[in-house]
Structures are given as structure tokens and as C-alpha cells.
């Protein structure tokens, strides 16, 4: 699956999926506004919650706000303009797993991974040093996990 001279490679979230989620959030926001107009207090919660969702999905559509970039050194996840980089030699393996009804790519950090302190360290410990990608970037979880494992095997030190 890896092509020679293939680094770096960048995957982006599906624009169609993001637009669909934006439209659903927009419809619920409008429904909340109608609820408010009918005197239902729950309409405020619905409007605010799904209004924030609209803003998030708009942000995801902005250039370079979200992506997965693979390089010889490791992978960079960027979500809502916040990036994190992980070296290939800090990960044991990538695998597709379900969280609820959503299938995602998870990974477990190995002993080369340096834990962070504070709140992040506590979350990592609670999660047993596992991480997950926020999206499958237009691939199935199985395909993406297989690709990441290939890159990890090829470029790990």
C-alpha cells in the first residue's frame, strides 16, 4: 500500500460528511428556535447545543483545521487547529474498534512513549495509554489501520 517517495501524505475529513453533519445541526438549531417561539424552555438547550455543532462543522471545513499527516518520523493529527504529533516508535499497533456505533482507529502507546504530567497524564492513565484518531478520513477504519501499521512497520526505528 505504501508507494516509494510517498512521504509526507495528508488525509482530510470528508467534506460531504462534514456538510451533512452541519446541515443536520442547522435543522436542529432551527427546530430549537421554533421551540423557543412556542414557549418551550428546552428550545434554548437544543438551539445552543446544535448551534455550537454548526460552528464546529464550519471550522472543520476551513483549510488546515483538521487532517492526518503521515511522514517518515510519525503521524500528526490536527483537529480544530490543534495538532499533536506521535513518533512511529511510540506506538505498538493500530486497530479498528467500535466506540458505541462508531468504528474508529485506536492505538496503544508502548514503553517509548513519554507520558505527560497533570490532567493529560491522568486521562492517558485512565485510558491505559490508548489513543484514537478523530476521523477515518474517507477510508474504512480497517483500511486506515492497515495503512498506519504499514507506515509504522516501515519507518519505526
Which of the two residues, 99 and 69, has the higher pLDDT score? 69
Give the pLDDT score at 132. Answer: 87
Does any domain span residue 6?
no
Backbone φ and ψ for 7, nearest 5 degrees, come out as: -100, 150
Confidence band of 23 (pLDDT split at 50, 70, 90): very high
> 90 with 74: CB under 8 angstroms?
yes
Whether residues 50 and 72 fall in one domain: no
Whether residues 92 and 40 fall in one domain: no
pLDDT in tens, 73-103: 999 999 888 888 988 988 889 999 888 888 8
Does any domain span residue 55?
yes
Does any domain span residue 115?
yes
Whether residues 85 and 146 fall in one domain: yes
CB atoms near residue 100 (< 10 Å) = 6
Q: How far is CA 89 from the centre of its chain?
A: 21
Domain count, the chain: 2
Find the domain containing 70 and state its range: 66-155
Does any domain span residue 77?
yes
Q: How far is CA 145 from the centre of its chain?
A: 13
pTM: 0.73
Whether residues 38 and 76 fall in one domain: no
Whether residues 30 and 104 fall in one domain: no
Res 131 pLDDT > 80: yes
Does any domain span residue 4?
no
Does any domain span residue 140?
yes
Amino acid at each position: 500500500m505504501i508507494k516509494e517517495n510517498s512521504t509526507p501524505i495528508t488525509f482530510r475529513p470528508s467534506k460531504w460528511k462534514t456538510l451533512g453533519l452541519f446541515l443536520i445541526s442547522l435543522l436542529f438549531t432551527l427546530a430549537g428556535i421554533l421551540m423557543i417561539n412556542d414557549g418551550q424552555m428546552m428550545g434554548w438547550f437544543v438551539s445552543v447545543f446544535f448551534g455550537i455543532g454548526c460552528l464546529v462543522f464550519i471550522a472543520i471545513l476551513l483549510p488546515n483545521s483538521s487532517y492526518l499527516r503521515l511522514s517518515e518520523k510519525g503521524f500528526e493529527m490536527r483537529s480544530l487547529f490543534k495538532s499533536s504529533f506521535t513518533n512511529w516508535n511510540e506506538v505498538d499497533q493500530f486497530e479498528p474498534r467500535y466506540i458505541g456505533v462508531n468504528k474508529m482507529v485506536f492505538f496503544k502507546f508502548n514503553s517509548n512513549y513519554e507520558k505527560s504530567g497533570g490532567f493529560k497524564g491522568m486521562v492517558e492513565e485512565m485510558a491505559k495509554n490508548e489513543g484514537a484518531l478523530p476521523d477515518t478520513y474517507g477510508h474504512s477504519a480497517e483500511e486506515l489501520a492497515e495503512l498506519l501499521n504499514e507506515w509504522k512497520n516501515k519507518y519505526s526505528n
